[in-house]
Amino acid sequence: MTTAQIMELDQQYLAPIYKRAPIVFDRGVGVYLYDTDGNKYLDFLGGIAVNSLGHAVPEIIGAVAQQAARLMHVSNLYHTEPYAVLAKLLVDHAFPSKAFFCNSGSEAIEAALKFSRKWACGVAGETKHEIIAFDHSFHGRTYGALSVTAQTKYHEGFKPMLPGVVVLPFNDASTLDAAISAERTAAVIVEPVQGEGGINPAQVEFLQTIRRLCDDRKTALIFDEIQCGLCRTGKLFAYQHHGIEPDLLTLAKPLGGGLPIGAVLMKSHIAEALTPGCHGSTFGANPVACHVAAAVLRKMIDENLADRTRAAGEYFRAGLRRLQETHPDLKAIRGLGLLVGVEFDRKVDDIIAGCRAKGLIVGSAGENVLRCAPPLIVEHAHIDEALRILGEVLAA
């Protein structure tokens, strides 16, 4: 089909939920994407931090084919090898915990919220049910995840939200003591680096205070690493930058190398509150997704992708700072590793479109923030190419 025919089918048969760019992507190789008209694009969005290993990765292709030929689905009524192998691999490289697998980041958040409330109910009864979230957060679009997403634009038309959610200012440790209650607070949920909210790293004092108060008041601490986890920030897990372990850790985006999978790691005191039937997922722990995720994780670890990401991120931000010297509308550069936010004093829609026209794919994290989350295999030459294109767009 032609590009125009595909777009016509989209308009005729798809719900109008997405504002898609006028491109039909056909294939990808490494850090590049190709559309149906044969145009080539440098991918500096990575499927929104999903394609961490790039496109057409031999290990991923091989893992899909290998497991699909053996077993694709049997449900969680039976054991399979892939989920057990993946769980061990994650726990061995994170902290002592138990794993739960689902199909997306939003589902991982829903599970973490439920698990926290189930544990808290056993600690102090049903009055201990409040969830503390932070402004500018984004945790997903299902009702529980949406309710702890403290950006009102996502709530419009869908209220009322889940009750029992308290929103505090991000990176303000002074508000925490009065808000976290031993009697009321079941969990605190925070992104170590906020994604959709503008690529805002959490300050170490802020996270340390949350951890201390959660320990003191028997409150669960949830780290949402769906976007910032798995080498994206220059550590295998973002919490490792500060050595502050959560009670529950949510993962998704890059874990499946492009296949849908989500995960929750939870410490033993949370897992001990769970019983068969208290939660579930028909497709969770899918053998193909889990087998691929294990291949992705092994490649990240074996090739020390975290260190490579940290170095590439430093190189990229240094180049952006050089651009900032000649473009005063570029206000700030934020992020860790290869999760980078570039804040402007104007909306970035035109910048995104201009980059796309010149063969560079970038995204946004709010109206004024350009988001870059390229594959972690990106090389300095690719970064130079991206900086050149961005510079040309800003100079136009």
> Which whole-number Å values give the CA distances from 285 to 179, 249, 290, 320, in the listed order?
36, 17, 6, 40
Q: pLDDT 10s per residue in the chain (396 long)?
A: 999 999 999 999 999 999 999 999 999 999 999 999 999 999 999 999 999 999 999 999 999 999 999 999 999 999 999 999 999 999 999 999 999 999 999 999 999 999 999 999 999 999 999 999 999 999 999 999 999 999 999 999 999 999 999 999 999 999 999 999 999 999 999 999 999 999 999 999 999 999 999 999 999 999 999 999 999 999 999 999 999 999 999 999 999 999 999 999 999 999 999 999 999 999 999 999 999 999 999 999 999 999 999 999 999 999 999 999 999 999 999 999 999 999 999 999 999 999 999 999 999 999 999 999 999 999 999 999 999 999 999 999
Position 132 scores a pLDDT of 98
CA distance 139 to 27: 29
pLDDT for residue 40: 98
The alpha-carbon radius of gyration of the chain (Å, integer) is 21
Q: Which CATH architecture has domain 3-56+304-395?
A: Alpha-Beta Complex (3.90)
8 A C-beta contact, residue 53 and residue 62: no
pTM of the complete model: 0.98
CATH topology of domain 71-302: Aspartate Aminotransferase; domain 2 (3.40.640)
In this chain, the answer to whether the domains covering 3-56+304-395 and 71-302 adopt an identical fold is no
Buried b (16+ CB within 10 A) or exposed e, 354-392: bbbeeebbbbbbbebbbbbbbbbbbeeebbebbbebbbe
Question: Are the CB atoms for 340 and 21 separated by under 8 Å?
Answer: no
Domain ranges of the chain: 3-56+304-395, 71-302
Instruction: Give the pLDDT of residue 143.
Output: 98
Amino acid, res. 307 = D
What is the structure's pLDDT at 22? 95
